[in-house]
Structure 1
Amino acid sequence: MAGLSFAAPVSATPGTQALIGEVYGGGGNTGATLTSDFIELTNVGATAAGLDGWSVQYLTTSPGSGSKWQVTPLSGAIAPGGRYLVAEAAGAGGTVPLPTADATGGIAMAAGSGTVALVRTTTVLTCLTAADCAADPSIADLVGYGSAAVRETAPAPAASNTTSVSRTGADTDDNSADFTAGVPTPTNGKGETAGGATPPTQAHIHDIQGTTRISPLKGRKVAGVTGIVTALRTFGSSRGFWMTDPRPDNDPRTSEGLFVFTGATTPKVSVGDAITASGLVSEYYQDDPNNSVHQSTTELTNPEWTVDSSGNPLPAPAVIAPDTVPDALAPQPGGNIEGLPLEPARYALDFWEAHEGEEVTIGDARVVGPTTAYGELYVTTKPDQRATGRGGTVYLGYDQANTGVLKVESLIPFAQRPFPAADTGDTLAGITTGPVEYDRYGGYTLMAAVLGEVKSGGIRREVTRRQRPDELAVATYNVENLSFMDDQDKFDRLAHGIVGNLASPDIVTLEEIQDNNGATGKGDGVVAADQTLQRFVDAIAAAGGPRYSWREIDPQDLTDGGQPGGNIRVGFLFNPARVSFVDRPGGDATTAVSVVRDHGRVHLSVSPGRVDPGNEAWTDSRKPLAGEFVFHGRRVFVIANHFNSKGGDQPVHGRYQPPTRSSEVQREKQAHVLRGFVDQLLAADRDANVVVAGDLNDYQFSPAVLALTERGALTDLIATLPPSERYSYVYEGNSQVLDHILVSAAPRRVDYDVVHINAEFADQASDHDPQIVRFRPGH
């Protein structure tokens, strides 16, 4: 097979010889290198493509009835396989001019999103919707990028001041599949590029990968890149193959593996092929590279290659043993680590980056994060690292990263072998081998070309004991966006958890109860959740539990965060045969509950009542709900909570170290507001029975939770468990705490339990485990 030559294939049946090849609207903007916008055309045919009388036209992202296409006339022709460069508006920024353009216009295109059409006439287009433009026979090709309303099927990725969108080789009439964002590469009909014609750099893979996270050859064309094909990705919109140089250098910092990106086109190579490749070196981010907090993947894009021989043995993969990956996570410079020299013997993130694109192998790895809906699971390569009693890996501090955790996905098409369902504590038995790739969701990932078999670890869903007659049982449960619109199966499974696993608590604080039409009714004014709650209590009764009553307060529409339109809120279920709810009228979405001392007795001004709902700490977040209960003649104050989420925080495995946890600021404010209300209760009655429960969206060691427990006013019960049991949620393979029950000093004989029924299992009713506390109220 030596000497056979392949390029990344184009569509088998393209609509025209001339296609839009690249679009860049950031020229001359802040941070840009190029001084001008451009549109590049390409000819995929075997003969010259004439352009006389044709034009390229541009339309804004969200056209209205008064929007107009802007036109640049074309002339001449594109040689077979050639390029044609159309220069558009120049800006004040940038330092590098375009090569001599084949046509020139003055359209100032938006950097992030817009629509470009290649038109067979110079007549201004009139279509303003995707459907109308698809029906216009004068349009030869069209690309909408970013959030463009006019596009083929779905828009191409967003571009920026430093990135363009370029065709990956295919023409499937789906812009999202046919284009990718990357470094602008303007090329004219003579083959000249920005800054003049530059011959490709002859390079080995380790030259491309370099000794930092960013390739020293980023944005440059390379040639003579040799290696053995080790794995293929043959499905999805990010297809391609990995190659490894079997002749490594002596520098442990430089990876010998590289991903060759072919877009939506399946590459025509086989594992074991020895190839020589050329292309453009790119750093691929899964979001806007200018604002990304994630790491990049070094890739070879716009590739061409020759197959020199086939059936070659693969380079030996790196074997990952328990002591292979360093215990320290990453350097902590207080900023971006991309430019720092890699130290793979010292830091885990550096170790994986130094093996990016290379094959690694693991054997008999314990599953620490169950299979997700996205076909992925998490294992640990360090089985003794902070192990839980049920097979997970517990997260106990910002400075205690679990560097053994590794995500596993599969390169085997699911039609050929479905991704296995695994629970925490199972074993991925046998050998799992594949290249390493960075993913913004979960960090470094083993893309398995060889996938082990799942062997059950035997964990079962826990069942807590029933409360004694003189014990009050209070539970908390995040029911994950429960809406009246959900299937009955979800209600039934959650109900079974309440009855069968939690033994029918007397009081349950619920989080993520949605309104009656859930997220389907964004902005429709529907905020009531009575149908959702009625269906839930009916399911509990049908499961053999008590006929619960409920209390909640409807939020104002679209003010409390969560899924848009869902209007999630917290609420109470209670068993009226065991406990009484003290109803005090007047509580609504905006009325604040206060503490009232009357004839030596303390009570709430309204019950249920929201805690300081107008405070800016609760902006776009759930407001705590206080309720007054009576059990065996003793008053108990329960406060249900759901603090703001961690959305917006920088990832633990990202390019900024240490990561910024920006969402902590609001949660700490929320904790201080809540603590202030608890302090009012305890100031009025130091022996008050106070239970603070719910999804605080933070760890037991976080500033928010510590603000609730400082000076001993409240005890966080999760912190009373052995360290290996401190978790109620599993995220990216880490068993961790988000849910809490805190109690004041008055409750006696406190017995607390986290009941593991969801988070460790691939089959979940919710992504949270419930918790329960049993106690005898004081005084």
Structure 2
Amino acid sequence: MRPKSFARRFGGRMSTSVLAAALVLGGTSGVIAAGPAAAQGTGLYISEYVEGTGNNKAIELFNPGAEAIDLSGYRVAVYANGQTTANSYTLSGEVAPGETFLFGSSRASFAGQLDASTGAGLWNGDDAVVLFRGDEVVDSLGRVGEQPAGGAWGTGEASTKDSTLRRTGGVPDTIIDDAFDPATAGWKGFGVDVFDDLGEEPGGPTDPEDPEDPEDPTDPEEPGEPGDPADCEAPAEKIGAVQGEGATSPRTGDTVTVQGVVTASFQQPGGYNGYFVQDAGDGSDATSDGIFVYAQGKDERAEGDVVRVTGKVGEHYEMTQITQSGDATVCDTGAEKPAPAELSLPMDDEAREAVEGMSVVLGEGVINESFNYDRYGELTLGSERHAQPTNLHRPGSDEAKALAASNLADSITLDDGINSQNPNPIRHPNGEDYSPENRFRMGDTLREVTGVMHYSFDKWRIQPTAGAEYEETNPRTPAPEVPGSLTVASANVLNYFTTLADEDPNARGANNAAEFERQKAKIVSQLAEIDADVFGLMEIENNSDKAVNDLVDGLNAKIGSEEYAAVETGALGTDAITTALIYKPAKVERVGEFSALTESVDPNFDTSRHRPALAQVFKDKATGEEFSVVVNHLKSKGSACGAGDPEDPNGQGNCNRTRVEGAKALANWINTDENLSRSGRTLVIGDLNSYAKEDPIVALEDAGFENMVAKFGGDDAYSYVFDGQTGYLDHALATAKLTGEIEGVADWHNNSDEPDINDYNLDFGRSPAYFEDNPYRASDHDPVIVGFTPGGNGAPGDGGDDSDDDGEPQPSGPLGSLGSIGSDSLALLGRFGSAN
């Protein structure tokens, strides 16, 4: 499962204004005396305060001075509920002159904008916030030692609860125990969850050191000021000259006047506080003829307006823009927009830079990623589907590096033209509202993608001005049927927790009963349609079989008979999630008790990081033949394992050494355990958190196991989409005997290609209307289905001879592949790389 992470958006913060930033939650409490002395000469002050819904909490610090401010010694102290002791959060880094520093909750919806964050709960409306440098008070908000009536200081929007407050002046408040009311203390309220100005210089875009009022009639030295229609005939600078040929403008810091047609306007509520202007061009293909005009608080401009704009040139998060001063002159309306520049992927940065700010059209693009679609309306497009480099090539190889570079050059983000989060309704790329009747999947195709070229948060983006042509080129399909007398499937159940998060904040699944019923419906529908004889499950709550039995009850109710039973294990391991097995007693019977691989069995299998491997021997009731199933979930790639196992430099993520050691221990356990090795047939299913060519898979292959997904599916196989790239984290690996009896392996792409707006979750105000009671987006990983006949001869035409088998896949359509494989094999089926 992917963590609930947050992409950075246009208008947020990047590291350019803070040279280095880090946060340490000191976990300390300090007792302070009332009214300490103010810090002298620091200049830093709290310019914005956010106390919104949920974890939407932040403060903005501003450096109005001419020198950079070293944050060493600075800390943010929170005095909760009238207390005089505080939790302190230490800051570090440097704030450049005229720049801001954002500190807040790592779980905020705008977390990607923050320069420093913490996972702690931070403040509520009745908690005082104090900025210290050492023991000196730099600034404060609220009154230390007082718990205000009603849970907040102030009233209405000018309140410390459920509101955003912005400083109307730059005078800090260094007296922390005096009466406090935001409305009279130099703060203006903007209501709940208003973040559009977060990170912007206080006071708006006008340079305070160079004030100008272009509409002031008393200024005799500015006869042709903006707003005068006569100006439209005067010469204006070419936008190409302002943009220049490089990544940054040669006119940065200069005040310029340009004139052109408005090609896109994003001044609506929740927009970007500006518009794009394009002129007739300077004749150079190396310079862009369009530019973004930041116009917060100015009159709205419409597409087709011909405007003359004066303002200061700057680089805003690495995109050239003009900050409009005064009013723009409208020279004409309803003008025809310039013909869009035609784009085709791949494109290098120079080609994209040459059309930055211009009207563009992408002839065709395949949807490759939708992870940020529900939160931010973003999709990643490419000319074709992109494979994870380490799914096809060894990590660090020239081929893997070349594929990574190719994927990057072949990618572009299609945004939604909105700067706010969690839009409702959300825009389908065809320009209509997204709905179950008007949906898309990754792998579908867009044509004539029209908008303006924009750059922010390390991504080139097309901000749309019209709906694209949409074609469903990767339609939903039913579960694949694989040949064989028995089927075994692996299925990630997306943190299936019967303990709800509103009951226990540490629970990882559904927040409430409504979400849980939605989640259960999808997972049960998925399992019922696959109809496997044995399922190996990952990401199920480790609560002494309660969750797995609840799932079995739901599955049997869906089917209408008691077809499935659980292998009850009690609590297995120490993590909140575990692995589980369910099966059809009418088709197979258990032979003996389950067993588990833990560090007590092999110290190299670190169950403080891995979930225990769960094994069960079964007997096929039709043939009397035995086989074993082992389900795994190894350490994730996301979180660190420490200095002894750092992030792999070749794209294998964190904890690669830990996973390699786990894979080796797994292979050794299977090959040496008497019960598991007795039949020569073992199917191991689970999450080993590695793509096909990564070290843990190679370690298993070196130990004698064969990659069955590669055998049947070839290079096109995948079960997971991450960062716009496909790969399979759900594996089937085999040694000799069972391989010769396997007749088919297939991934069912009911999950990985679906946008997560279709899952059960209702976080961030998602509309319940997007939900469908069906198996699509039951999880973020696709199930893998293996068909075999114990004692049989494997796939048709195999003949049990693997001596000269070249492993060429035999395609069976878009769901997976069926093909011939060798004999005398032990199979491993596993998902080798999710986010958990």
TM-score tier by shorter-chain length is 0.5 to 0.7
1:701-716 → structure 2 map (5 Å cutoff): 701-710=693-702, 713-716=704-707
1:493-642 → structure 2 map (5 Å cutoff): 493-500=522-529, 502=530, 504-514=531-541, 527-531=543-547, 533-543=549-559, 547-551=563-567, 560=575, 567-584=576-593, 592=599, 594=601, 616=606, 619=608, 622-631=611-620, 632-642=623-633
The Cα of 1:182 is off from its aligned counterpart by 5.0
2:708 to 717, 722, 731: 717
Q: For the structure 1 residues 667 and 247, does the alpha-carbon distance in structure 2 shift closer, same or farther, using more than 3 Å as the test?
A: same
Q: RMSD between aligned alpha carbons?
A: 5.1
The Cα of 1:699 is off from its aligned counterpart by 2.0
The Cα of 1:511 is off from its aligned counterpart by 1.5
Q: Distance in 1 between matches of 2:658 and 2:162?
A: 46
Deviations along 1:31-76, one digit per CA (max 9) or x if unpaired, are: 9xx983334989xxxxxxxxxxxxxxx994422444499xxxxxxx
2:718 to 727, 731, 738: 727
Superposition TM-score, scaled by structure 1 size: 0.62
Residue 490 of structure 1 pairs with residue 497 of structure 2: no
Letter in 2 for 1:373: D
Q: Distance in 1 between matches of 2:711 and 2:341?
A: 41
The Cα of 1:315 is off from its aligned counterpart by 2.7
1:318 to 336, 341, 344: 341
Q: Distance in 2 between matches of 1:659 and 1:665?
A: 6
Q: Which runs of 5+ in 1 are unaligned?
A: 1-25, 43-57, 70-90, 99-106, 143-149, 158-168, 194-201, 285-295, 327-346, 516-526, 561-566, 595-610, 650-657
Q: For the structure 1 residues 320 and 714, does the alpha-carbon distance in structure 2 shift closer, same or farther, using more than 3 Å as the test?
A: same
Q: Which runs of 5+ in 2 are unaligned?
A: 1-16, 23-39, 49-73, 87-91, 100-129, 168-186, 212-235, 394-399, 426-430, 499-512, 641-646, 759-776, 792-823, 825-836
2:195 alignment counterpart: 177
Letter in 1 for 2:163: T
1:370-449 → structure 2 map (5 Å cutoff): 372-374=373-375, 376=377, 378=379, 380=381, 382=383, 396-397=392-393, 398=400, 399-400=402-403, 401-402=406-407, 403-411=409-417, 417-419=432-434, 420-429=438-447, 431-438=448-455, 443-449=459-465
Residue 37 of structure 1 pairs with residue 43 of structure 2: yes
Q: For the structure 1 residues 393 and 669, does the alpha-carbon distance in structure 2 shift closer, same or farther, using more than 3 Å as the test?
A: closer
Does the 8 A contact of 1:357 with 1:435 survive in 2? Answer: yes
1:681 to 661, 670, 687: 670
Q: For the structure 1 residues 456 and 357, does the alpha-carbon distance in structure 2 shift closer, same or farther, using more than 3 Å as the test?
A: same
2:176 alignment counterpart: none
The Cα of 1:319 is off from its aligned counterpart by 0.9
1:739 alignment counterpart: 730
Q: For the structure 1 residues 304 and 170, does the alpha-carbon distance in structure 2 shift closer, same or farther, using more than 3 Å as the test?
A: farther
Does the 8 A contact of 2:555 with 2:564 survive in 1? Answer: no
Q: Distance in 2 between matches of 1:189 and 1:370?
A: 39
Deviations along 1:153-203, one digit per CA (max 9) or x if unpaired, are: 25889xxxxxxxxxxx9952457425322579999998479xxxxxxxx98
Superposition TM-score, scaled by structure 2 size: 0.58
Number of paired residues? 581
Does the 8 A contact of 2:637 with 2:654 survive in 1? Answer: no
Does the 8 A contact of 1:182 with 1:283 survive in 2? Answer: no
Letter in 2 for 1:703: D
1:197 alignment counterpart: none
Q: For the structure 1 residues 179 and 506, does the alpha-carbon distance in structure 2 shift closer, same or farther, using more than 3 Å as the test?
A: same
Deviations along 1:541-588, one digit per CA (max 9) or x if unpaired, are: 52357622223656689x64xxxxxx222211112222233454786x
Deviations along 1:609-661, one digit per CA (max 9) or x if unpaired, are: xx75x855x54554433333333554433322233444369xxxxxxxx9956
- State, as a whole percentage, how many aligned pairs show the same letter: 20
Q: For the structure 1 residues 771 and 280, does the alpha-carbon distance in structure 2 shift closer, same or farther, using more than 3 Å as the test?
A: same
Q: Distance in 1 between matches of 2:205 and 2:302?
A: 31
The Cα of 1:126 is off from its aligned counterpart by 5.4
Letter in 1 for 2:275: W
Q: Distance in 2 between matches of 1:491 and 1:30?
A: 42
Moved more, 178-187 or 306-315: 178-187
2:178 alignment counterpart: none
1:243 alignment counterpart: 276
Does the 8 A contact of 1:580 with 1:629 survive in 2? Answer: yes
Q: For the structure 1 residues 132 and 359, does the alpha-carbon distance in structure 2 shift closer, same or farther, using more than 3 Å as the test?
A: same
2:634 alignment counterpart: 643
Does the 8 A contact of 1:644 with 1:663 survive in 2? Answer: no
The Cα of 1:421 is off from its aligned counterpart by 1.4
Residue 479 of structure 1 pairs with residue 493 of structure 2: yes
Residue 135 of structure 1 pairs with residue 128 of structure 2: no
Q: For the structure 1 residues 407 and 768, does the alpha-carbon distance in structure 2 shift closer, same or farther, using more than 3 Å as the test?
A: same
1:307 alignment counterpart: 329
The Cα of 1:450 is off from its aligned counterpart by 0.5
Letter in 2 for 1:493: K
Does the 8 A contact of 2:390 with 2:651 survive in 1? Answer: no
Letter in 2 for 1:483: F
Q: Distance in 1 between matches of 2:748 and 2:585?
A: 24
